[in-house]
Chain A
Amino acid sequence: MEISSTRRSFIKGLVAIGALLALPATVLAALVRPSAAFDSKELDASIKSLFGDLPVEASDRVNLKAPEIAENGAVVPITISTDIEGVESISVIIENNPNPLSANFNLTDAVEAKIATRVKMGQSSPVRALVKANGKVYYSTKEVKVTIGGCGG
């Protein structure tokens, strides 16, 4: 009797520890800096590195706000929003920058799917906003003309 109750509580303890270990593991798994994608100098390779084999498609539900002409490439304000449900991440890619991937925001349900940031652009370039949701990647692109580059050498 005593043995079995000890055994039961031991098993209960194991289950509890298992649950504790499992939870942070799944949370952490999603949160690792995609360093290879940031280091990549090539657009397609960077997208592939960031999203793997997920289907990537253009979508007018991704709303990208950026200036048509940026007088100062060092500070280009970008706002990305979407009405797509279940957004996991929002990323900004400056296609003609030496390293195209600029920022990758990982959202939880507690946050609205709208992010504002400021990026540097070395020259005029298409800016691409990518939204990962429901096992797919949706994007929209906008051409931004830069009169003074922001990655000056």
Chain B
Amino acid sequence: MADKSVKIRGKVKDGVAGVKTLISHPMETGTRRNAETGELIPAHYIEEVVFSHNGNDILTAYWGTSVSKNPYSAFSIKSAAPGDTVAVRWTDNTGASGANEITLK
């Protein structure tokens, strides 16, 4: 499951888990041109990201081309404890995907 494309940080405080994720991805809009050849660089962006807690999907993000390169997301899980797992999986418009999981401390 471990995948270098996704970094997850999670911290439990007073039963609430703050989660931050960073996904390595170009997030190409499809409107940029190659500076040398002048050719359009094809769109290449993450369309869907699913965040889960102990195996249950809790947050589903749909993105367009205007989410920044190497997308950062942060959110909080209302009720969490050390030992719980938090996982992220993503799919882009080319069908590529990635996933990672951490155990909360």
In the complex, are the beta carbons of A106 and B63 less than 8 A apart?
A: no
Tell me the nearest residue of chain B to A77, going by C-beta. B72
Whether A66 is near chain B, meaning CB under 8 Å from some CB there, is no
Interface residues on B, range: 20 to 34
A75 to B69, CA, bound (A): 8
In the complex, are the beta carbons of A108 and B58 less than 8 A apart?
A: yes
In the complex, are the beta carbons of A103 and B58 less than 8 A apart?
A: no
In the complex, are the beta carbons of B68 and A110 less than 8 A apart?
A: no
Number of interface residues of A (CB under 8 A): 37
Considering only residues 91-120 of chain A, those with a C-beta below 8 Å from chain B are 94, 97-99, 101-112, 114-120
In the complex, are the beta carbons of B75 and A99 less than 8 A apart?
A: no
Q: A110-B53, A110-B58 are in contact. Are A99 and B76 (CB under 8 A)?
A: no
Flag the segment in A11-19, A30-38, A54-62 that touches B: A30-38
Whether B102 is near chain A, meaning CB under 8 Å from some CB there, is no
A101 to B79, CA, bound (A): 30
Whether B13 is near chain A, meaning CB under 8 Å from some CB there, is no
Flag the segment in A2-10, A130-138, A145-153 that touches B: A145-153
Considering only residues 27-69 of chain B, those with a C-beta below 8 Å from chain A are 27, 29, 31-33, 47-48, 53, 56-69
Whether B16 is near chain A, meaning CB under 8 Å from some CB there, is yes
